[in-house]
A and B are shown apart, each in its own frame.
Chain A
Amino acid sequence: MSRQTENLKQTTTRLACAVGVGAVLLGLVGPWASAHTQPNEHEAPAPRVSRGDAESVRQSTGEIGRRIARASPGDTLIISAGIYREHLRIDKPLIIIADGRVVIDGGGSGDIVEITSPDVTLRGFVIRNTGIDLDKENAAIRVTSPRAIIEHNTLEDILFGIDLREAPDSRVAFNHIGGKRLDTARRGDGLRLWRSDRSVVEGNTIHDGRDAILWYSKGIVVRDNTGYDCRYGLHLMFSDDVTITGNEFSRNSVGIYLMYSTGVEIVGNRLLRNRGPSGYGIGLKETDQFSVRDNLIVGNRSGVYIDGSPFTDKRPGEFTRNTIAYNDIGFTFLPSARGNELTENNFIDNIDQVAVAGRGSLEANRFWKGERGNFWSDYTGYDQNGDGIGDFIHESQTLFENMMDKEPKLRLFLFSPAQQAIEFVGRAVPAVRPEAKFIDEVPLMAPAPLLNNVSEASVSAGVAALGLAMSGAGAAIVIGGRGVCPFISLLTLARERRAARRPVGALP
């Protein structure tokens, strides 16, 4: 009987506890859940309302729109400074130039400028505030006709920036394109060329966008542009005969990503600190007949990433005089990569100079040609006859690197003393020494000079001052501790107390 009541008691207590916990959870989660669902309900209708407004603006057309309507083909329109809230459609060949700061504000909806006529020039405008509809690809400037010239415009707070659709022979130059700060999945492309052959993209700055992307466009020149904080700084899809020179892509997920393109020249670009799960300076996926020369590739997760390139054996993949420095991995080859030739490149202090992902081999790629090898900062040989070429071959065979290539998880132990222990064992014990990953028979003793201007490392007064302060503090503790300088007030305090108390045996 008493056991039954005991059981009953236990059950009720448990039940009460469960209910209590449930109530507390409900109390906690309820407001949280509602707080998280409410904004979504509010968010959805908001753009619809403003789109309705925008529709009316567009129908009544603003001042620029009226001037475009009145102009005859070939006219030049000078627009005076001011803020114009309107959406433009340019349907005749005109030259439209901003005089001073002319802002065209899209009011957060739709596209802003649409160019449907060939031979339109748009210069010097500030165009801002597109919609955020990814399905409709809201763009600041959309061109659907050939030979457009889009120059010196500033695009702010936009989903897609400049969108060229079947607009060959166009010129996009010196524009500043800043995307909306959305997370990557919701962003649009800062610049997109779709079937726009022979266009020139020059001197633009693109940031906070998804990609600057070329689709099915032949003979494009991409020159002196800057891209940062995007997904891909420059992205080629099925675009042939493209020349990419003098650009700087930094802090993107990938600097330049080439996919399924043929005949690409990448010369004299700077690819800096492109990081993250992809994190390539230059990525080549099934790209053919390419040449990568004189680029500066620094601080990326992987400087160059090669997947199935070159795609055919028509021409070897050429990598010449690039400086690949301080990347986590200099070159990553997927096992499928074959037929690349690396000469006169500077491999400087990449944590892993060359890696083969998985269990592939580098046999089908060459790391020297004739008398021209590469500079390897980890080369241990010497040059007795002084011809600038190391007297011994350079072969990469570090045990830990090999282990990392096969099992990337082991990178977690980089820089730990255990890594050095393994390297040491790999060097000392021939039985576990791995086979050479690759061989450079004529390694260079000195790095090839950089054609790219690199800012010299400068003296940092702040760091030096901090160092001085730190060592000063350290020295002060040492000197003070030795009792030369009785600055530690605690010491005197303790002494006073001791004097007051006069304990039996004084401490030494």
Chain B
Amino acid sequence: MQTTVSLTSPLSRPPHTLVTVAWIGVRELKDAIGTRWFTLYTLAFAALGLGVSFVSASGSGGSGLSGFGRTSAGLINLVLLVVPLMALSAGAASIASDRERGMLAYLLAQPVTPVELLLGKFVGLAVALLACILLGLGLCAMVVGFKGGALNASSIAWLAGLSFLLALGMLGTGMLISVVTRRASVATGTAVFIWLVLVFGTDLALMAGTLTFRLRIEELFALSLINPLQVFKMWSLHAIDSTLDVLGPAALYAVEEHGESLHAIFGLCLSAWILAPLTLACVLFSRKGVS
């Protein structure tokens, strides 16, 4: 089986790459929205988000004070838990399950290059994730707006945008897992493992490192930038609160030292997390192909 049919295709001219990517994207989006995981995750995300917004908005004990930081902290926490899991598992299932069902061979028999196929799937899944994030955070925003929480519109927009960036990074990572592994079950297992590592493992390790090696604050801050979840957390806190002093000396140091360029630093880290796995997945996939 040849990987690129376009070379041997009887067609005079293959369709433009963007069209192919868009076409595959739309198909993937349709597929994704029909699946159980999408419905499940969307419902779970929206329900948990609503819970967080209700509880934090009413947690002021009737004193009339609005929950400064409480709602945003709850939502950030929720995004940190749910969005990476959702994106990683969606990405991990994408190529591996198609391969298992023999769908991959069929798709690549069309005038489609592997990179186009991969990018198309990425775009489609990204839009599906975007829908999920918008639905979930949108409902939260409605609750916060009606209950008079402390989050303003720009904070919500920042939170949604950054959640989407995080989702893109995790989706790319998931697809890399999917390309590398042979079976869908292995891919999903690996994705969950990676999720555990990112959500708990790296932070716990870094905490232990801080205590045992007496890391200096600049080292601690630099190391924490490795974890995209930490970057997302710090970036959204910085965007919502415009300070980072809630996160203690290391964050204070970062704000003093880097000031406004913190946005650029966080942006760079997250873009690296989006581009690097995706590029690697593209390279490996075009080399490896269907097998």
Contacts and interface: CB of A to CB of B under 8 A. Distances in A.
A23 B111 CA distance: 54
Interface stretch (A80-88, A143-151, A221-229, A458-466): A458-466
A411 B133 CA distance: 28
Contact of A454 (B64, B106, B199): B64
Interface in A438-486: 446-447, 450, 454-475, 477-478, 481-483
B110 A505 contact: yes
Interface residues of B, number: 91
Contact of A467 (B106, B139, B211, B220): B139
A417 B80 contact: yes
A412 B111 CA distance: 50
B44 interface: no
Interface string B233-244: 100010000010
Contacts of A409: 210, 215, 217, 220, 248-250
A349 interface: yes
A195 B152 CA distance: 46
A504 B77 CA distance: 49
A465 B11 CA distance: 50
A5 interface: no
B19 A497 contact: yes
A277 interface: yes
A298 interface: yes
A323 interface: yes
B33 interface: yes
A478 B131 contact: yes
A59 interface: no
Nearest to B141: A467
B178 to A, nearest CB: 20
Interface residues of A, number: 76
B59 A447 contact: no
Interface stretch (B67-75, B167-175, B182-190): B67-75
Given A470-B138, A474-B133, A503-B11, A412 B224 contact: yes
A494 B141 contact: no
Contact of A410 (B11, B76, B207): B207
Contacts of A450: 63-64
Nearest to A377: B61
A328 B233 contact: no
B145 A461 contact: yes
B176 interface: no
A493 interface: yes
Nearest to B227: A416
Contact of B63 (A277, A323, A481, A482): A323
Contacts of B33: 477-478, 481-482
Given A471-B139, A490-B25, 9 more contacts: A412-B247, A413-B207, A415-B233, A467-B137, A467-B138, A467-B143, A470-B138, A478-B135, A490-B23
26 contacts: A346-B63, A349-B70, A404-B248, A409-B217, A411-B248, A415-B77, A415-B80, A418-B204, A422-B204, A455-B64, A457-B60, A457-B65, A457-B147, A457-B149, A457-B150, A463-B151, A466-B157, A467-B145, A470-B156, A475-B135, A478-B33, A478-B135, A481-B26, A488-B26, A497-B23, A505-B109
